Chains A and B, each alone.
Chain A
Amino acid sequence: GQQVMQIPQYQHVQEGEDFTTYCNSSTTLSNIQWYKQRPGGHPVFLIQLVKSGEVKKQKRLTFQFGEAKKNSSLHITATQTTDVGTYFCAGLNFNKFYFGSGTKLNVKP
């Protein structure tokens, strides 16, 4: 079945350091979305990537979709304490979204 793997599982950084999480799918994806879930909260949509090789930026966040549309990454530059949470990628396949295992980011002030 559909599998979306994500690494690392956890990341602890000092405030100001960069952070990257990687997402890999066993199958080619129609598109990929990224979500952030704060502790105790529900996932909140961040962005969607559709095109092969696509790169999108949101302030300090940079999202990439691989050429083969099987992998993606989220990079945060100069992390802040407000970036704390778990970041999930979600791949669309057969009209359903399958979530990656998530990367929990902790930022020390």
Chain B
Amino acid sequence: GAVVSQHPSWVICKSGTSVKIECRSLDFQATTMFWYRQFPKQSLMLMATSNEGSKATYEQGVEKDKFLINHASLTLSTLTVTSAHPEDSSFYICSARSGTVTGELFFGEGSRLTVL
């Protein structure tokens, strides 16, 4: 099946710094990628939809200036957590779909962010 790679797997940073997470579709082109946030033992909360060549669309309550998303190519989307604070610590996971709008989602391995 399709493969989505996410990097880094885990990152620890100091409060106030910015962290970039990359999501790559390795064997297919993804015009749309989705970024989710998952708190421990909770569900995946959709943060934003990343659209290749255009601005990301953010879900209600998600700060677009805080979570910068760039989808510069058909195989790469990046999420930058700017001026990170301890409350931003979480598991961030991207997904991509190939083909149709209703197609299955292929998930990256996730990135665990810890902000000290």
Contact = CB atoms under 8 A, between A and B. Distances in A.
Interface of A: 1, 6, 30-31, 33, 35, 41-45, 48, 50, 88, 90, 92, 95-102, 104
B86 to A, nearest CB: 22
Interface of B: 34, 36, 41-46, 49, 59-60, 93, 95, 101-102, 104-110
A97 B46 contact: yes
Given A42-B107, A45-B105, A95-B101, A104 B41 contact: yes
Contacts of B60: 1
B77 to A, nearest CB: 15
Nearest to B101: A95
Given A33-B105, A90-B105, A97-B105, A42 B46 contact: no
A43 B44 contact: yes
Nearest to B32: A95
A43 B108 CA distance: 9
5 contacts: A43-B93, A92-B102, A99-B36, A99-B44, A102-B43
B96 to A, nearest CB: 12
A98 B109 CA distance: 19
A56 B109 CA distance: 28
Residue from A30, A43, A92 whose CB has the most chain B CB atoms within 10 Å: A43
Contacts of A30: 102
B105 A96 contact: no
